[in-house]
């Protein structure tokens, strides 16, 4: 038997009840994720409102859309875009960064940091551009605060370049790709 999905994307609030199968409207444990049409957030694509899991679909159909906003939260789906840069942690730091052959670029970041999410695609491009010449990693400072403290990270994003286990350069902030390229080129 098919299982009930954990979230359902609905393209329009005006026809939300018509788009749901009758079997789903009676499910008390169903979480509903409403995806607004592009333009509903005035030029912000990739945003959706996610309602808490405690609400049932049947209780949502009787409410006006404005009544839904205070109980849910806006989720940015852009943060889940493909970033192919592998993660390094406290446990893997020694083997992946300090004992690596050749230069290593490490991005210190956090999921709540807007500039960090802006620079992720740039780091991803650099990782592909310098494949075989430079190893790129990202370190979540919320998950590994001891590494951030050890290297004096006071602002994120911070990009550090290590050569033979030694810190050689650091770039702080969401900078253009050309700035990072110039920094990388010094150590290749």
State the catalytic residues. Answer: 113, 116
Count of Cβ atoms closer than 10 Å to residue 114 Cβ: 11
List 167's β-bridge partners, or say none: 162
Beta strand extents in the chain (DSSP E only): 9-10, 33-34, 47-50, 73-76, 103-109, 135-140, 158-163, 166-172
Q: Are 103 and 184 in contact (CB under 8 A)?
A: yes
């Amino acid at each position: 038997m098919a299982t009930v999905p954990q979230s359902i994307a609905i393209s329009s609030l005006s026809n939300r009840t018509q788009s749901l199968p009758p079997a789903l409207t009676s499910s008390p444990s169903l979480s509903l994720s409403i995806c607004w049409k592009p333009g509903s957030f005035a030029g912000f694509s990739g945003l959706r409102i996610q309602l808490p899991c405690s609400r049932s679909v049947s209780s949502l159909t009787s409410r006006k859309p404005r009544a839904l906003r205070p109980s849910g939260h806006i989720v940015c789906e852009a943060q889940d875009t493909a970033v192919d840069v592998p993660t390094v942690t406290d446990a893997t730091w020694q083997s992946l960064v300090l004992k690596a052959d050749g230069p290593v670029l490490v991005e210190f970041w956090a999921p709540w940091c807007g500039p960090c999410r802006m620079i992720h695609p740039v780091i991803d491009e650099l990782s592909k551009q310098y494949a075989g010449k430079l190893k790129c990693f990202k370190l979540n400072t919320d998950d590994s605060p001891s590494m951030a403290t050890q290297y004096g990270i006071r602002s994120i994003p911070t990009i550090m370049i290590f050569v033979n286990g030694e810190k050689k350069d650091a770039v702080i902030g969401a900078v253009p790709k050309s700035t990072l390229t110039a920094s990388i080129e010094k150590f290749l």
